[in-house]
């Protein structure tokens, strides 16, 4: 044993060596296929901060516009102030066909109609209808107060007159007239002799059905 031990030790020491240098890094492989999506979260995230306030909206309609509607013929009347204020004239309408204000009341035909502000025999003003032609198709009116036929131009503040309270025929006064002769219809049309100075007006003679009717709904 004393003869082989040095040889064994020398042999073991000679077998040791230092480690080699690291090799170069290889290229990166291709990207793998994307995996399936994970399950949706059931936890709601925190609420974000409030955004800035938006710009003011356009002004709304006047309150009265929501309950008052103009028709094809009747239009609402408004009281407009110099400062821009506006309020509805309650119960009155503008009739765009006659260019007159009117208000609803029951006419003699039983219908609720928008009738003009008019004089009547109850106001002490009377009227008679004549014609300027022999066929009695062009009406003329004689308006008088207290049976005075020669009072000149009547001082009326309305261009409408109710011919009589029984039929409620409306006379719309148009313009003064000076016919060379007049005719009267009772019931046939014939000439009528005017013996006193008389002031005539050309007129439209209209039945209640001419005016806009309404119903409560």
Per residue in 58-83, pLDDT tens? 766 655 445 788 999 999 999 999 99
* The pair of three-digit structure tokens given for residue 96, joined into one six-digit string: 């765009």
pLDDT confidence of 85, banded at 50, 70, 90?
A: very high
Contact 172, 202 (CB under 8 A): no
Contact 71, 212 (CB under 8 A): yes
pTM of the complete model beyond 0.85: no
Local structure of 107: helix, strand or coil:
coil
Q: Which residues contact 75 (CB under 8 A, 6 or more apart)?
A: 93, 94, 96
Per residue in 31-54, pLDDT tens? 878 878 777 777 777 887 887 887
The residue extents of the domains of the chain are 68-214
pLDDT confidence of 173, banded at 50, 70, 90?
A: confident
Helix (H) or strand (E) holding 7: helix 5-15
């Amino acid at each position: 044993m004393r003869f082989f031990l040095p040889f064994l030790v020398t042999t073991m020491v000679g077998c040791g060596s230092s480690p080699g240098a690291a090799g170069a890094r290889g290229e990166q492989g291709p990207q793998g296929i994307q995996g399936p999506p994970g399950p949706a979260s059931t936890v709601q995230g925190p609420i974000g901060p409030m955004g800035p306030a938006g710009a003011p909206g356009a002004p709304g309609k006047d309150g009265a516009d929501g309950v008052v509607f103009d028709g094809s013929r009747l239009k609402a009347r408004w009281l407009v102030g110099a400062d821009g204020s506006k309020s509805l004239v309650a119960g009155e309408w503008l009739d765009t066909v006659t260019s007159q204000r009117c208000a609803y009341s029951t006419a003699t035909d039983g219908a609720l109609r928008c009738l003009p502000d008019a004089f009547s025999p109850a106001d002490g003003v009377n009227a008679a209808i004549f014609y300027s032609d022999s066929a009695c198709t062009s009406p003329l009116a004689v308006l008088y107060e207290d049976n005075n036929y020669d009072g000149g131009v009547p001082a009326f503040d309305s261009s409408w007159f109710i011919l009589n309270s029984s039929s409620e025929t409306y006379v719309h006064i148009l313009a003064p007239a000076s016919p060379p002769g007049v005719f009267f219809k009772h019931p046939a049309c014939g000439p009528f002799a005017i013996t006193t100075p008389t002031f005539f007006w050309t007129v439209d003679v209209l039945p209640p059905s001419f005016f806009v009717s309404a119903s409560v709904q």
